[in-house]
Structure 1
Amino acid sequence: MGKVLTLLVLRVLMNLLLIGWISLWIIKPTTLWIQSWRQAEDIIRHTFFSYYGLSFAVFSFPPIALSIIGLIYLSLLPLYNRSTRGGKSVDFNVSRPAIINSFIGIVSCFEIIALLLFLLFLAWTFYARVSNDFNKLTPIKTMNLELWQLKYFRVATRFGLLAEACLSLLLFPVLRGLSMFRLLNIQFAASVRYHVWLGNGLIFFSLVHGGSTLFIWTITHHIEEEIWKWQRTGRIYVAGVISLVTGLLMWVTSLPQIRRKKFEVFYYTHHLYILFLVSFLFHAGDRHFYWILPGVFLFGLDKTLRIVQSQSESCVLSARLFSCKAIELVLPKHLRLNYVPSSFIFVNIPLISQFQWHPFSITSSSSVDKHTLSVMMKCEGRWTDSVYKIVEEAANSDKNINNMTIRVEGPYGPASAYFLRYDTLFLVAGGIGITPFLSILQELACENRLKSPKRVQLVFAVRTFQDINMLIPISSMLFTPIHNLSLKIKVFVTQEKKHSNGPTTLQDFLAQSQVQSIHLGTEEDYSRFPILGPDSFRWLATLVLITVLMFLGLLIGLCHFFIPSEHKNHSHSMKLAASGEMKTAKEKVPSWVPDLVIIVSYFIAIATGGLAATILKWRRQNREAPRMSKEEVKPEERNFTELIPIAHVEEHEIHIGERPEFQEILSEFGKNLRGWSSIGVLACGPESMKEAVASMCRQRSQCFGVEDSRRSHKKMNLSFHSLNFNL
């Protein structure tokens, strides 16, 4: 009961912080807030914290505090079994697919609501600022502008605030270890598109802001004078130009036409974000930067922690080569490393490339394989082809590649096993998209929970017969009765025809599959090179708190050292004020000095966090890993059992030369359901296939309606989840 109450209190605190931060953004453009904030700055200017401490506490700290509390919440969440089945009588359908388009993908009702609210906020901010500017129009002394030019210049300036709003949220979706989207069970691969949407908005508003400003300078013949000016106070326009150019360069190289064909160009160009953020700071000033600092701060710390983790080396214990040009790698992991099914890792093999990292779904379950972790990859590119060739050469020759070094970052995944809350699962996989479902099915086979799915329908679409081999990791559970779980598989081979003398059942296909197993590691490698995984949530929360306190201390200390503090010699300042000669501390030093203080404080604080993470990793690596038995050292042998026909097992189907008709399959599946059932529909594969599954779910459910299980005439309540196997 105490844990439940603690989780409830933490959830309330997170909601209050989120509502408070959003409220600040809403009231920010109002005259009342502007006047109140100026009064607050005047009051605190003579104190130890000054305006920079106040700005950080009000604008920057709430999202960081939300992250800290969220990490504590996630650390307690596994201790409290939240994975309950869909026994609730009422289900709000805001997560159902609403818009299905090949250009923007699958957009849920919840995402539409969030997008509309964000656009409404942008419209309110723009209207409030522009209307206030038009009511107080004053000519610019250094530029002789006509009325329309002056109004247009003010409008262009306010577009910069819209770009600032997009920038404040831009980096949150690409956090991994410190991701707050995990609280909503939104995985990293799904949240990346929010980063894309915000990035498009940022570039659009920045282009209007910068382009319109340059246009006004051009027609008034002030462009050469203004663009290169590095004034002592106020906006630094050349920094704005640099920020705009670097932003455009990152945006162009991130277009799908370039990113998919020239990924390295996209990846390395995106590192210009450092120059972009520094230029933005010098252009907009420190007061505006405090609004976007939370995302920048958490992203910098998250990036540092990922770099620290990725430096640890592990090894490949064994591999399996499939005839469909797929390969499964088995890696050692620490006994305490647990992950949720459908999680993924980033993999780097220095033998192929020192810099290329590729994401792969985990195919094993930490509930089954206590000491190993498996990933499967399909050879469809140069990097994966190289991995396949290295292992194939080792299998076909006497070449010794023991201790094949590999670096791993992750695992990353949802905070809880969300699929356990459904009565039934309807899984749709296309090709290599089967990989996250291999982990889910193994988890279901070993679960003893009373509240977990009892019926599972897997629809697996492949191009050739050889692709069916990818089911071999779960072959032992396909033809063996599983307690309290009914599993049925429909396999569709779309690009081949049935052979007269060939196998006819799934069991025959798997029995004739050509799979080659190669052992690359030794028993000692399990304890020498285990994958430790990310740091615990509690340690991450502590690290964020330590780092943010370090940053705040450095910020205040350096500002007091480099910026004359007004609470000193206050009586002397009062005399100067009486004579009209007093200047604020902000006016006594160049405006870029506080910007430099922020940069120095930021990098020192992040470096301190990285040092603490490195020390912790070193301590974890030096702890003696538990020794394992001979059976545990070779877990892959468990999946190579003979496929003996067993009675009372679901008959799996193979359809050759056909494509799956999801409506028909679901209707047939629904006939066997008793009463009302909540169904989790999970799809992973090509975008066209996921869009077809989403369309089926949209037709069978309302978007914003509320369904009552006691009154609804429908037997099925569908909840759609899209899983990505590529980024």
Structure 2
Amino acid sequence: MAKASLFILKLLLILVSTAWVSLWILKPTEVWTRTWKAAEEKASASVFGYNGLCFAVYSFPVVVFAIFGFVYLEQKKQKEEGKSRQERRCLAFLSNPLIVKSSLGILSGIEILGVSLFIIFLAWTFYTRIANDFRKTVQIKDFKLAVWQYRMLRVATRFGLLTEACLALLLLPVLRRMAVFRLLGLQFEVSVRYHTWLGTAMIFFATLHGAGTFFIWGIKHRIHEEMWRWQKVGRIYVAGEITLITGLIIWVTSLPQIRRKCFEVFYYTHHLYIVFLVFFLFHGGDRHFYMVFPGIFLFAIDKLLRIIESRPHTRILSARIFPSKAIELILPKDPRLKYTPTSVIFVKIPSISEFQWHPFSLTSSSSVDDHTMSIMIKCEGWWGSSLYNLISSAATDSEADQLLPIPIAVEGPYGPATLEFLRYNSLVLVAGGIGITPILSILQEIGSGNRNVFPGRVQIIFATKRSQDVCMLNPVLSRLLDSKLKIHLKLKVYVTQEKQTNQTLLEMLDHDEVSVTQLRNFESKFSGYLPYGPENLYWMAAIAASASILFMLFLASFNHVFLHTGNNKKSSSKDKTPSSVVDLFLLCSFAMALVCVALIAAVRRWKCLRKEMLPFADKESIALKPRLTETNLSHDQELEVHFGARPNFQDIFAEFTKESRGSYTGVFICGPESMKESVALACQLSSKACRPQFSFHSLNFSL
């Protein structure tokens, strides 16, 4: 029965996605235009009007895909554990890097295929529209254009349609709670790159659209007259200009040079997306807005749910301060909260900033720690330095009781639906600097001692600039080196900017002066709850369906009362209504639907806080991990440390190939882009030269 339901849901997902893609392909054609006009005339006499038809055809398929997708993922959880490695490995080659270049980055086979199909679609849309426009030259009122001027204006206009196509997909990759990309096995931090690509393409086409239009206006000396027009019906030019300027501001401040140095500027200007979307609606009109509405619809619900679910504050139980200005924070959690390795939580500390949320990889495993979870933070930049100063002062100040406990808000965790490393016989884990954080979560899971977790070889390659950074391995290494675990473990540490010493790796870890601070609870100071995590996916599906129904009901009510939709005798009144008023009704209907589902979600969350979530214990403390000694080691474990050189991944992979004897190997890398490219290139060469397959996985540690 379970297999049949999964098959039916998968079939529905394929049919819905195929129908939506086919709609975009057919939309530029004359056949679709004629059919659509006839359908709109019939729908105008109905209760929902043409708005209902636009929402049902253009927007609702994506919402239905999300609803069925959430149900499918929830039902698939139980079936996934029993899946054999051979079944999982059939499409693994698509994740391997095919292009490894510094200018393009690392592109896998599935990424190249997806980008190629999207470019072909854009070319098809542009060519079809332009071909139809050039066949019929229609003079614009008050404009006397030459043929070449008319054609250039049409080209500029059609670039606006390419902007619309990019915007339709722009927000889908950055969904966290309502993430439809989870159906493709993508994590949030991985799919952010697709959001970046789509945003860059959108701004490029929007700039061409605006520049071409201004060029024609300039030729006709109509710039000052046209650019300030707020038309009663049709495209509102001022709104388009505001949209373009806002988009350029968002894009410029999101460039790596600004985002990394001035994160606050990037963070706050990115919230101008509200201005961008509202004025895009006024510029393009409600008919075009329904094409991009699905992503906006799901993103708004996602944002509201995240705000509601992150309202209860928790606190820091303890902190471990490393010499490299890195901090490990221990946070409480509900024992029922389970998450997979490489999961991410978003953290906000109100005493530092009331608005900024920062993503961090969980370094703990819910299989090992039932009551706590941990994250590691490299304290760089304004926010990180503020946190370091706060923790350090709380650790050393004699009046620390006044500073503790530190309240924080936690959102998430968000992570992969399954444990990716379960499909492999051997693992190679590569990390650079603070990139060790997601790797630690995999090591924690391996060190849980569960035989079902992982039976094969594990090789860890950790590269860092200074030897004091090696101590970041301390939280999990003692558990991994436990001789009771039958794991062939090989650890290679590379200290790239220091000279050779006579110390072994264990001596470095044992004698490293690591400052450890216990932050204890104060029952009279703070009251909070254990993080319970997001609601289940069935609840997400119900929320999406409810919001869709409420939106259509509110929109139909507005249209019936104010626009008299559905009354043939008064249908002409709609033509006299300004376009901006119709757009405002759409915005009001959407806002009211969001308010209703937000109230429902808030009431449910409040009940969970009162009945299901467990309050803090009066006092908590976290025991320190034991020191590492030679007695921890077994004969299957090797520890190496190299100074003054970077790892040669081709030699390492060649050596690992001989040791693993043709096993199916998963390579997980988290580090700088240059390191990722080196590992990806080594995977390429190793897979071509020998039989073992190296499956490449990149784990982003900075967004």
Partner of 2:510: 511
1:456-605 matches, within 5 Å, as 456-500=458-502, 503-504=503-504, 506-522=505-521, 528-565=528-565, 567-568=566-567, 570=568, 572=569, 584-605=572-593
Does the 8 Å contact 1:318/1:519 carry over to 2?
yes
Question: Are 1:325 and 2:313 counterparts?
Answer: no
Partner of 2:141: 141
Distance in 1, Cα, partners of 2:25 & 2:152: 24
1:205-604 matches, within 5 Å, as 205-398=205-398, 399-400=400-401, 401-446=403-448, 448-450=450-452, 452-500=454-502, 503-504=503-504, 506-522=505-521, 528-565=528-565, 567-568=566-567, 570=568, 572=569, 584-604=572-592
Partner of 2:670: 684
Question: Are 1:610 and 2:594 counterparts?
Answer: no
Paired letter, 1:686: P
CA deviation map 1:417-445 (0-9, x unaligned): 11111111111001111111111111122
Does the 8 Å contact 2:95/2:108 carry over to 1?
yes
Distance in 1, Cα, partners of 2:374 & 2:294: 36
Residue in structure 2 matching 1:669, options 656, 664, 686: 656
Cα deviation for residue 477 of structure 1 reads: 2.2
Does the 8 Å contact 1:479/1:649 carry over to 2?
no
Q: Secondary structure of 2:118's partner?
A: helix
1:54-65 matches, within 5 Å, as 54-65=53-64
Cα deviation for residue 236 of structure 1 reads: 1.2
Paired letter, 1:479: L
Partner of 1:644: 631
Partner of 2:2: 3
Cα deviation for residue 450 of structure 1 reads: 4.4
Instruction: Return 134-143 or 448-457, whichever deviates more.
Output: 448-457
Question: Are 1:623 and 2:611 counterparts?
Answer: yes
Question: Are 1:694 and 2:680 counterparts?
Answer: yes
Q: Secondary structure of 2:272's partner?
A: helix
Paired letter, 1:427: L
Does the 8 Å contact 2:529/2:616 carry over to 1?
no
Does the 8 Å contact 1:527/1:625 carry over to 2?
no
Give TM-score, length-normalised by structure 2: 0.95
Question: Are 1:655 and 2:642 counterparts?
Answer: yes
Cα deviation for residue 719 of structure 1 reads: 1.0
Does the 8 Å contact 2:532/2:613 carry over to 1?
no
CA deviation map 1:566-617 (0-9, x unaligned): x42x4x57xxxxxxxxx64541312222211110011111122222222222
Distance in 1, Cα, partners of 2:453 & 2:352: 45
Cα deviation for residue 640 of structure 1 reads: 5.2
Distance in 1, Cα, partners of 2:508 & 2:526: 33
Paired letter, 1:678: Y
Does the 8 Å contact 2:159/2:206 carry over to 1?
yes
Cα deviation for residue 377 of structure 1 reads: 1.1
Does the 8 Å contact 2:653/2:686 carry over to 1?
no
Does the 8 Å contact 2:665/2:695 carry over to 1?
yes
Q: Percent identity?
A: 48
Paired letter, 2:288: H
Cα deviation for residue 522 of structure 1 reads: 3.1
Q: Superposition RMSD on alpha carbons, in Å?
A: 2.3
Instruction: Return 84-93 or 511-520, whichever deviates more.
Output: 84-93
Distance in 1, Cα, partners of 2:448 & 2:366: 10
Distance in 2, Cα, partners of 1:499 & 1:608: 65
Paired letter, 2:589: S
Does the 8 Å contact 1:84/1:451 carry over to 2?
no
Partner of 2:105: 105
Instruction: Return 309-318 or 279-288, whichever deviates more.
Output: 309-318
Cα deviation for residue 43 of structure 1 reads: 2.0
Distance in 1, Cα, partners of 2:81 & 2:14: 19
Distance in 1, Cα, partners of 2:254 & 2:596: 32
Change (3 A) 1:388 1:369: same
Cα deviation for residue 226 of structure 1 reads: 2.1
Q: Secondary structure of 2:697's partner?
A: strand
Q: Secondary structure of 2:28's partner?
A: coil
Distance in 2, Cα, partners of 1:190 & 1:275: 27
Cα deviation for residue 100 of structure 1 reads: 2.1
Q: Secondary structure of 2:637's partner?
A: coil
Paired letter, 1:65: V
Paired letter, 1:57: A
Change (3 A) 1:470 1:714: same
Distance in 2, Cα, partners of 1:701 & 1:526: 55
Q: Secondary structure of 1:415's partner?
A: coil
Does the 8 Å contact 2:92/2:695 carry over to 1?
no
Paired letter, 1:455: R
Partner of 2:702: 726
Cα deviation for residue 392 of structure 1 reads: 2.4
Q: Secondary structure of 1:267's partner?
A: helix
Q: Secondary structure of 1:665's partner?
A: helix
Question: Are 1:80 and 2:79 counterparts?
Answer: yes
CA deviation map 1:168-201 (0-9, x unaligned): 1111111111111122221111111111111111
Change (3 A) 1:214 1:345: same
CA deviation map 1:254-297 (0-9, x unaligned): 22222222221121112111111111111111111000000011
Instruction: Return 403-412 or 368-377, whichever deviates more.
Output: 403-412
Cα deviation for residue 344 of structure 1 reads: 1.3
Partner of 1:707: none
Cα deviation for residue 371 of structure 1 reads: 0.8
Change (3 A) 1:617 1:152: same
Residue segments in structure 1 that go unaligned for 5+ positions in a row:
574-582, 703-712
Cα deviation for residue 222 of structure 1 reads: 2.4
CA deviation map 1:441-485 (0-9, x unaligned): 111222535473511111011112111101111132232125442
Cα deviation for residue 92 of structure 1 reads: 5.8
Paired letter, 1:609: V
Q: Secondary structure of 2:559's partner?
A: helix
Does the 8 Å contact 1:348/1:358 carry over to 2?
yes
Partner of 2:173: 173
CA deviation map 1:213-261 (0-9, x unaligned): 1111111122233222222211111111111111111112222222222
Cα deviation for residue 628 of structure 1 reads: 9.7
Change (3 A) 1:44 1:110: same
Does the 8 Å contact 2:405/2:522 carry over to 1?
no
Cα deviation for residue 389 of structure 1 reads: 2.7
Does the 8 Å contact 1:83/1:417 carry over to 2?
no
Q: Secondary structure of 2:319's partner?
A: strand
Does the 8 Å contact 1:182/1:414 carry over to 2?
yes
Change (3 A) 1:527 1:70: farther
Q: Secondary structure of 2:266's partner?
A: helix
Instruction: Return 321-330 or 451-460, whichever deviates more.
Output: 451-460
Q: Secondary structure of 1:700's partner?
A: helix
Question: Are 1:715 and 2:684 counterparts?
Answer: no
Partner of 1:710: none
Cα deviation for residue 166 of structure 1 reads: 0.6
Paired letter, 2:685: Q
Distance in 1, Cα, partners of 2:356 & 2:617: 35
Cα deviation for residue 625 of structure 1 reads: 4.7
Change (3 A) 1:449 1:54: farther
Distance in 2, Cα, partners of 1:62 & 1:232: 31
Q: Secondary structure of 1:388's partner?
A: helix
Distance in 2, Cα, partners of 1:639 & 1:627: 29
Partner of 1:198: 198
Distance in 2, Cα, partners of 1:126 & 1:385: 49
